[in-house]
Each structure stands twice: as C-alpha cells, then as structure tokens.
C-alpha cells in the first residue's frame, strides 16, 4: 500500500486512479488507507489519552516534546474546512482541556496548538488533527513567525477579498486545489512490552499550578 | 474580564488602534495582521481580555475556532492559498508575545519561508508510558462542556442579577437593624 513499496508504474496507475475518483470515492479510498482511522478503530496500537464519540487523543510517537498530543476527529476529514461547526467547537474545547491537563500533569509552562491544512502548511497525514505541544523554557522547539511588512494598500485589498468570501456563505474549497499527502507507509508494530516499571508513574504530579501565574509571566496585567 | 488599558489587543478590539477587520460579532473579531507572516495572515481574538487559552470560557472557544475555520476557508477561496495554519502560542515559553489570547490564521504557499516544524524526538517506551499515565490521570474528568448556553451573551445579564441580589441582601440586612 505504501508508495515506497510500489514500482513507478504502479504508483503512476494509483495516481491516475485517484485522479479519476469522485470526491466520495476519494474520501472512502483515503479512509481505507488512513493510519489514523486504523488507530481510532484499534487496528493499530497507540497510546490513547482520551476518547469520546467525536474525538480521540493519542500521544505522538515522534513528539516535539514529551507529552505531545494528537487530537483526532473520529470521522475521517482531511482538512479543517470539511468539519461541521459543532465538531469544531467540541474538538477545540477538548484541545483547551488537554492543554490545561498538560500544565497540571507534566509541568508544562505553555502549549502550542497547531493545525496544518495542506502539504504547503506542513500537513503530513491525511487525517485532520490538532497538535497540542507542551512547552518549557529553552526546550529547543522554536516556532517563530516571520514578520513581514505588508503595505496598507495590500492589507485593504486582501481584507476586502476575505470579507467578501466570508459573506458569500460557507462554500467549501475545491479539494483538488489543495495538495494532500499521499497514503503513508504503515509504521512497523513495535513489540509491546507491557510489563514495565510503573513506579515513576505512581509519583503523582502536583496539580497546584496557577493559571494566573502563567498569564502573569506574559507581563501585561 | 473587561478591556485592559495596557493591552494592545484590547485596543484593537475597542477600535482605539485602527485595524482592517474581516469579521466582527459581539464577542469576537478577526483582523489582518499588519506584520503578518504572509499577506493575509489574520488573527481571531475574543473581545474580552483573557490572557491564555485556559481562561477563555468553553463556549467562546467553540465560537473563536469556528471563526478561525471560516477565515481559513475564506483564505483558501479568495487568496488562492495552498494551505493554512491555525496556530496558537499559549504562554511565554510557547512564544506568546501579547497577554491576550489570539488565534493566528496563516495562509501558506510552498517554500514561503515559514517554519512551523519540529525536530521529532525518540522517547523510550518507559518515558512514553510515564507521560501517558501522568496525562491520563489529569484527563479523566474532561469532556464536560458548558454547552447548554448557546451564546456567550448569557454572561452579561447574570452579572446584573448578582449585583441586584447583593443590593437586596444589604437592604434586608439594613431593615433588620433595630
């Protein structure tokens, strides 16, 4: 299934096949190929932190920092614009709770919430997910957004375009315009050594953290 | 959590600092960033002053991220972006620069010089399990949200009622005096 294990002809045939699919067929196809759908259904093992009828949260096996959570929709969506409003609300209320849990359980001093829509934005899996990354000072993770100077004329013009598009109703973008990741290679199952020392884990984390302390660090009162 | 004088985002929300608005309702605003990472970089903000994510009420979180999603969709449609990022820096070590919760919505194109990637780390099975148990312990009680109130509008009258009761309480106390 993985593109790496295919001959160039097979890959080409697959790309051709995908190209000719209707959006419904494509979604069905993606669902079958999707590792995260298999994690959600339990076919592939993962460290599940939380689950309910709409969402599943797992630990990232290649985290930016220990405790890095992937919050997934139970339903297969490729990108955020496909998700209904009430699911968006639910997912991000969960993201807030999970972020809060990190501050309380693993001494995180902050969190990053990141969604990538499309390869150009850094999306690697074809299943919508919210990254919740626990942060500490000098942890080596660096998300600094460049600051460009955008001229007032351009701001006006772009703003008007976005406003017009927002007012034009909730039309979904054409999916063909957004490059999506190809089916990824399935990870090899790691041997499950479920008998492990749990003594460290018993050490209960202190939950005496103060949200105000975290916001106070930001300076402005 | 009313507007804070020193907060630049509150000043944008109140209009005392001019901005190009793309969306506005009673509780939230989406504006273009004049020093955006890319042209079309917007941020979505609650009008009330909440420094960090954890202080924003659940209902407002739902609304704010839905607005962010609509702005992201509009960026795809109207600017021909190849991708979008929804990005929140929560707390100083996470790169938050203003003490007012905001959601960044960033239009993306290939090779645009923005790097929101990280160096993947390999943790031992033991480290993973330790983290899993710690976080799970905290997560046990989540998932119950204030969904009964449809809009954050319900907050304002509640406050008024409270102060009325307080007045009544004091007047009752006064009447009890001999």
Query: For A3-165+172-188, CATH number?
Result: 3.30.428.10
In chain B, the residue whose alpha carbon lies closest to the alpha carbon of A49 is B136
pLDDT the model gives residue B67: 96
**CA dihedral over A173, A179, A185, A187, signed as positive or negative:** negative
User: Residue B158 domain-assigned?
Assistant: yes
Q: What is the DSSP string of A147-211?
A: -----HHHHHHHHHHHHHHHHT--PPPPGGGS--PPPPPPPPPPP-------HHHHSPPP----H
B contacts of A85 (beta carbons < 8 Å): 66
Cα→Cα distances A196→B2, B4, B137, Å: 50, 51, 18
**CA dihedral over B78, B79, B83, B89, signed as positive or negative:** negative
The span from the CA of A152 to the CA of A132, in Å, is 34
The span from the CA of A177 to the CA of B80, in Å, is 8
Q: Please list the pLDDT of chain B residue by residue as tens digits (178 residues).
A: 566 778 999 999 999 999 999 999 999 999 999 899 999 999 999 999 999 999 999 999 999 999 999 999 999 999 999 999 999 999 999 999 999 999 999 999 999 999 999 999 999 999 999 999 999 998 887 877 766 554 444 444 444 444 444 444 444 545 454 4
Q: Which two tokens stand for residue B28?
A: 């939230």
CATH number of the domain residue B52 falls in? 3.30.428.10
Structurally, chain B folds into a number of domains equal to 1
B contacts of A158 (beta carbons < 8 Å): 32, 39-40, 79
Which domain does B29 fall in, by range? 8-110+119-176
- Span A9-21, average pLDDT: 83
User: Residue B1 domain-assigned?
Assistant: no
> CA torsion angle for B110, B116, B117, B123 (degrees, to 10)?
-160
Assembly ipTM: 0.80
**pTM for this prediction:** 0.78
- Judged by CB atoms closer than 8 Å, whether chains meet at A47 and B129 is answered as yes
User: Residue B31 domain-assigned?
Assistant: yes
Cα→Cα distances B147→A124, A182, B73, B124, B143, Å: 33, 37, 25, 39, 11
């Amino acid at each position: 299934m993985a593109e790496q294990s295919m001959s160039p002809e097979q890959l080409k045939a697959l790309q051709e096949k995908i190209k000719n699919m209707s959006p419904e067929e494509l979604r069905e196809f993606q669902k079958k190929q999707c590792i995260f759908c298999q994690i959600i259904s339990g076919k592939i093992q993962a460290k599940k932190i939380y689950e309910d009828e709409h969402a599943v949260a797992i630990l990232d096996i290649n985290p930016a920092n220990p405790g890095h959570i992937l919050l997934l929709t139970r339903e297969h969506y490729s990108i955020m614009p496909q998700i209904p409003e009430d699911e968006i609300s639910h997912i991000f209320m969960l993201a807030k709770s999970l972020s809060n849990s990190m501050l309380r359980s693993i001494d995180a001093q902050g969190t990053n919430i990141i969604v990538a829509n499309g390869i150009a934005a850094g999306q690697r899996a074809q299943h919508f997910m919210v990254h919740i990354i626990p942060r500490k000072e000098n942890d080596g993770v660096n998300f600094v957004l460049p600051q460009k100077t955008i001229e007032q004329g351009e701001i006006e013009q772009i703003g008007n375009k976005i406003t017009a598009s927002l007012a034009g109703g909730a039309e979904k973008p054409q999916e063909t315009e957004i490059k999506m990741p190809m089916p990824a290679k399935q990870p090899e199952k790691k041997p499950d050594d479920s008998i492990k020392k749990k003594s460290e884990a018993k050490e209960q984390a202190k939950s005496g953290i103060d949200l105000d302390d975290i916001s106070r660090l930001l300076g402005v009162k | 959590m009313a507007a804070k004088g020193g907060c630049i985002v509150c000043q944008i929300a109140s209009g005392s600092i001019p901005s190009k608005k793309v969306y506005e309702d009673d509780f939230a605003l989406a504006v273009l960033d004049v020093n955006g990472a890319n042209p079309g970089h917007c941020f979505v903000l609650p009008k009330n002053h909440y420094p960090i994510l954890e202080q924003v009420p659940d209902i407002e979180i739902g609304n704010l991220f839905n607005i962010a999603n609509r702005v992201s969709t509009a960026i795809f449609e109207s600017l021909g972006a190849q991708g979008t990022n929804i990005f929140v820096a929560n707390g100083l070590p996470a790169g938050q620069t203003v003490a007012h919760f905001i959601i960044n919505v960033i239009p993306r194109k290939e090779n645009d010089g923005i790097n929101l990637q990280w160096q993947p780390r390999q943790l031992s099975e033991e480290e993973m399990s330790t983290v899993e148990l710690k976080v799970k312990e905290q997560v046990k009680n989540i998932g119950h949200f204030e969904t009964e109130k449809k809009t954050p509008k319900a907050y304002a009258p509640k406050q008024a009622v409270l102060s009325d009761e307080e007045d009544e309480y004091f007047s009752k106390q006064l009447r009890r005096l001999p």
